[in-house]
Structure 1
Amino acid sequence: MGTKPAIDRRNFIAKTALGTLGAAGILTSCSGPDSKKQEIQLPKLLDQAPDGKVIKAGLIGCGGRGTGAAINFLDAGPNLQITALGDVFQDKIDNCRAKLKEERNVEIADENCFLGFDSFEKVIDSGVDMVLLCTPPHFRPAHVEAAVNARKHIFMEKPIAVDPEGARSVMASAKKAEAIGLSMVSGTIRRVQKDYMETQRRVANGEIGEITGANIIRNGGALWYRSRQPEWTDMEYMLRNWVNFCWLSGDHITEQFIHEIDVMNWHLGQNPERAIGWGGRQRRVTGDQYDFFSIEYLYENGLRTHCAARQINGCTNRKVQQINGTKGYADAAGKLFDYKGNVIWEYPYPEEGDTTSEWNVTNPFVQEHINLVTAIRTGNPVNDAEAQVNSTLVTIMGRISAYTGKDVTWEEILNSDLYLGPKTYTFGPVPGIKEEIPLAGVSNTAS
């Protein structure tokens, strides 16, 4: 596996007109918290969606997360059915069918199992009411657009894109969905997890003062990978090894670290003006991605945040979601501290076995489907796409900065025509995409 020459930043940040999506509209930064607004209260979270007529869902992307999402959907309430499956690999469909049968006694008819790159269209057209979009995120924008055009409600796994062009496409689809009364729920689970929600509510209500910054870390071991098999084409190899290719996953800063960065964005209520990124690779053995990232985000009011992620075995693992304020700091997962490190509030988790407490935390992977099904059955649409689009873009600007060694601004990301991946999909060569690692800056030369 070779390395390629330093990447010209202009290859990543080419300017283009935003057209009808204008930077001043859909994706502009939100203003910060207003100290004069009324105290925020938690919305009521149901532990099960209300009963109603059968809702049929089709699963597009039958890997581990897709199969898990299908089971989470079935667990969200009564009269819910998975009736169609789509994937590009027969073994993924077969494994998903077996898992649904084993764990929920659900059988999917042969005629409702669709194979190929166009399987998403067949699932959408199979008589379903909604779709679960769980393929590698490169494909999400096209699948979202097709589902909205067919007037289907949508659950879309994170992230919603791997590049700015895809993010803008999802935002346009989301606005259309909103206009016609469709519901869309994203897989960024923390915003529907009660302990995180109560912590954010308290921070927003001023219990640690005004927010001054954040320290966000996700350090863990290496992800899985697939070694290339002689019978695989370029496309099959990349798809089976998708978490290790940037055009399919967006790199781990976008595909996984988005959870923690989304928590940061939620608390801050604004998008950064600039990203200054570092990163590199020492241990990965396949693909074209980095092992680690360290990003500083700068905001219009002088606030700064630091975000770092690493995927290397044998290192210290740590997850930090610290929001700093003028009076103390928060662990976004359920604690507030003063500046001496004393706990001033902690989420009141109920005793084990207590199923009646108002503080029970429903599995967030199920809660997001409860919220979606409830919205459909009550006729009160929900649509959280804009928050996930912004969080996806924040991760992308950090990734590009690390890959290039250059500062990247929010305005540049909003106006970038960067598109990753091929325009057509066949099992054969993948022109223009090599298994090469991005190198920041320029190489040293002898004087």
Structure 2
Amino acid sequence: MSVKDLDRRSFLTKATVGTLGMATVLVACSSEKTKKSEDIVPDLLEQAPDGKVLKAGLVGCGGRGTGAVINFLDAGPNLQVVALGDVFQDKIDNCREQLKKERGVEIADENCFLGFDAYQKVIDSGVDLVLLCTPPHFRPVHVEAAINARKHVFMEKPCAVDPVGARSVLASSKKAEALELSMVSGTIRRVQKDYMTTALKVKNGDIGEIVGANIIRNGGALWHRRRQPERTDMEFMLRNWVNHCWLSGDHIAEQFIHEIDVMNWFLGENPKKAIGYGGRQRRLTGDLYDFFSIEYEYENGMRTHCASRQINGCTNGKVERIVGTKGIAIASGHILDTQGNEIWTYPKWEEGVTDPKWKVTNPFVQEHINLVTAIRTGKAVNDAEAQVNSTITAIMGRIAAYTGKEVTWDEVMNSDLYLGPKTYAFGPVAEISSEVPLAGEANKLS
């Protein structure tokens, strides 16, 4: 069956592994109002407290993984990175070189692990926590292994590319809670003080009752790799992972999840269904779309619009606009009245504000400060469920666009859709299609 013939059911049941038991995804944000204040500013630590040495292992040594491990080292005192794992030797070598150059850290040869099972070797190397930064397809299996080994987890976004994986991460997060292990996600806006303050003002009723949202992320094309004759199917796709849906979840999940997560956070509920569209004109490799436009609908009939585009040479920008009965919130730190006049803005440190309460710590470091603090104080934190919700929201939008059909939250949560091969090895990957999804039916000449 070609991609042209796939309908919504195919995109919801294309399974190659069994599903886990269903688990109800609860809304992470409470509807309880907080005390009103002009300056509700979260009190965040700029550095994790001192304590015994914490040893971390990195799984996935590409650009984001290398950045994450440096962010971890910057989070506080007595933090060490002692193990690295990847499927490519050059990625390990580059990461080791950058760690030595930028932080004076050297990783022993015996603690550098190569192969598809490198994640387990990192987990078993005597570390206290693991940083999981591979392409997101692999996240559910890596998270499960880490929690089973009773390790604390930092996991990059998104947590999965399909419903089977999302449910797996949810199950792992419940086990982590029972074991009092900490899990911190790479959805950075939730640890960013300007966003956090704006969210509290919205929760307090500063814009009245929320009636909708407009969420947009338009940017240029991401990097891509052309096929080299000597590379197998698996190596080509792994080195070109941001352009393959089974590895990345498409850019609506891999990158736009940041903005979708902000929407879910501010609204405090999950959409019940989605309808939308997307397409491809410019990408040179892989099977992803260049753009998405999704409308989400909620239980009370409220609707939100989300759109994302990755095409060079266009007008780009980001919008995170939450609309209420009394005003509008710009999630990054602005409140407007119903006429569009600004009535509050978050004081910007870079514009000369000197009161330290307004300083926004680099969120890529702040998430590790929070994780290390939780471990050292024995007060576990776990935001995995919120990332599962946002991942499912993105997947729902992707399926709606790929098929051109309305897709519900319950359908996705009950779906046995699994993207990816059954086994991992360098060589042909016959079960992975490279055809681009086409919604609807083809026109016919009379």
TM range (shorter): over 0.9
The amino acid that maps onto 1:288 is D
In the alignment, is the contact (CA less than 8 A) between 2:27 and 2:386 conserved in 1? no
TM-score, scaled relative to structure 2: 0.96
In the alignment, is the contact (CA less than 8 A) between 2:208 and 2:324 conserved in 1? yes
In the alignment, is the contact (CA less than 8 A) between 1:6 and 1:443 conserved in 2? no
Partner SS, residue 345 of structure 1: strand
The amino acid that maps onto 1:194 is K
TM-score, scaled relative to structure 1: 0.95
In the alignment, is the contact (CA less than 8 A) between 2:158 and 2:387 conserved in 1? yes
Matched, 1:132 2:156: no
Partner SS, residue 13 of structure 2: coil
**1:49 paired residue number:** 48
Matched, 1:272 2:251: no
**1:71 paired residue number:** 70
Shift in Å at residue 341 of structure 1? 1.4
The amino acid that maps onto 1:61 is G
Shift in Å at residue 179 of structure 1? 0.1
The percentage of aligned residue pairs carrying the same residue is 73
Q: In 1, Cα distance between the equivalents of 2:28 and 2:98?
A: 42
* Closer/same/farther in 2, CA of residues 203 and 295 from structure 1, 3 Å limit: same
In the alignment, is the contact (CA less than 8 A) between 2:321 and 2:331 conserved in 1? yes
Bigger Cα displacement from structure 2, 7-16 vs 76-85? 7-16
Q: In 1, Cα distance between the equivalents of 2:361 and 2:104?
A: 23
The amino acid that maps onto 2:62 is G
Matched, 1:186 2:191: no
* Closer/same/farther in 2, CA of residues 189 and 183 from structure 1, 3 Å limit: same
**1:293 paired residue number:** 292
* Closer/same/farther in 2, CA of residues 351 and 63 from structure 1, 3 Å limit: closer
**1:207 paired residue number:** 206
Partner SS, residue 178 of structure 1: helix
In the alignment, is the contact (CA less than 8 A) between 2:274 and 2:397 conserved in 1? yes
Q: In 1, Cα distance between the equivalents of 2:111 and 2:32?
A: 51
Matched, 1:21 2:19: no
Shift in Å at residue 65 of structure 1? 0.2
Task: Give the 5 Å matches for 1:348-427.
Answer: 348-350=347-349, 357-427=356-426
Q: In 2, Cα distance between the equivalents of 1:351 and 1:32?
A: 32
Q: In 1, Cα distance between the equivalents of 2:280 and 2:14?
A: 29
**2:324 paired residue number:** 325
Bigger Cα displacement from structure 2, 336-345 vs 77-86? 336-345
**2:31 paired residue number:** 33
In the alignment, is the contact (CA less than 8 A) between 2:42 and 2:196 conserved in 1? no
Shift in Å at residue 102 of structure 1? 0.6
Q: In 1, Cα distance between the equivalents of 2:157 and 2:396?
A: 16
Shift in Å at residue 350 of structure 1? 3.0
Q: In 2, Cα distance between the equivalents of 1:106 and 1:298?
A: 49
**1:84 paired residue number:** 83
In the alignment, is the contact (CA less than 8 A) between 1:15 and 1:415 conserved in 2? no
In the alignment, is the contact (CA less than 8 A) between 2:41 and 2:358 conserved in 1? no
In the alignment, is the contact (CA less than 8 A) between 1:187 and 1:368 conserved in 2? yes
1:78-113 alpha-carbon deviations (Å, 9 max, x no partner): 000000000000000000000000100000000000
In the alignment, is the contact (CA less than 8 A) between 2:185 and 2:387 conserved in 1? yes
Q: In 1, Cα distance between the equivalents of 2:120 and 2:82?
A: 14
In the alignment, is the contact (CA less than 8 A) between 2:28 and 2:385 conserved in 1? no
Q: In 1, Cα distance between the equivalents of 2:28 and 2:367?
A: 24
**1:151 paired residue number:** 150
In the alignment, is the contact (CA less than 8 A) between 2:57 and 2:84 conserved in 1? yes
In the alignment, is the contact (CA less than 8 A) between 2:248 and 2:254 conserved in 1? yes
The amino acid that maps onto 1:232 is R
Q: Aligned residue pairs: how many?
A: 441
Q: In 1, Cα distance between the equivalents of 2:64 and 2:49?
A: 25
The amino acid that maps onto 1:343 is E
1:234-264 alpha-carbon deviations (Å, 9 max, x no partner): 0000000000000000000000000000000
Shift in Å at residue 29 of structure 1? 4.9
Q: In 2, Cα distance between the equivalents of 1:14 and 1:437?
A: 18
Partner SS, residue 387 of structure 2: helix
**2:304 paired residue number:** 305
**1:443 paired residue number:** 442
* Closer/same/farther in 2, CA of residues 351 and 67 from structure 1, 3 Å limit: closer
1:322-344 alpha-carbon deviations (Å, 9 max, x no partner): 00000110110000001111110
* Closer/same/farther in 2, CA of residues 140 and 19 from structure 1, 3 Å limit: closer
Partner SS, residue 283 of structure 2: coil
The amino acid that maps onto 2:159 is I
1:333-391 alpha-carbon deviations (Å, 9 max, x no partner): 00000111111000012356777611100000000000000000000000000000000
**2:5 paired residue number:** 6
* Closer/same/farther in 2, CA of residues 404 and 100 from structure 1, 3 Å limit: same
* Closer/same/farther in 2, CA of residues 39 and 7 from structure 1, 3 Å limit: farther
Q: In 2, Cα distance between the equivalents of 1:32 and 1:440?
A: 37
Partner SS, residue 434 of structure 2: coil
Q: In 2, Cα distance between the equivalents of 1:356 and 1:346?
A: 15
Gaps of 5+ in 1: none
Q: In 1, Cα distance between the equivalents of 2:19 and 2:112?
A: 38
Shift in Å at residue 8 of structure 1? 1.8
RMSD of aligned alpha carbons: 1.8
Q: In 2, Cα distance between the equivalents of 1:62 and 1:340?
A: 48
* Closer/same/farther in 2, CA of residues 155 and 164 from structure 1, 3 Å limit: same
* Closer/same/farther in 2, CA of residues 21 and 42 from structure 1, 3 Å limit: farther
**1:122 paired residue number:** 121
* Closer/same/farther in 2, CA of residues 19 and 317 from structure 1, 3 Å limit: closer
Shift in Å at residue 445 of structure 1? 2.2
Q: In 2, Cα distance between the equivalents of 1:88 and 1:44?
A: 40
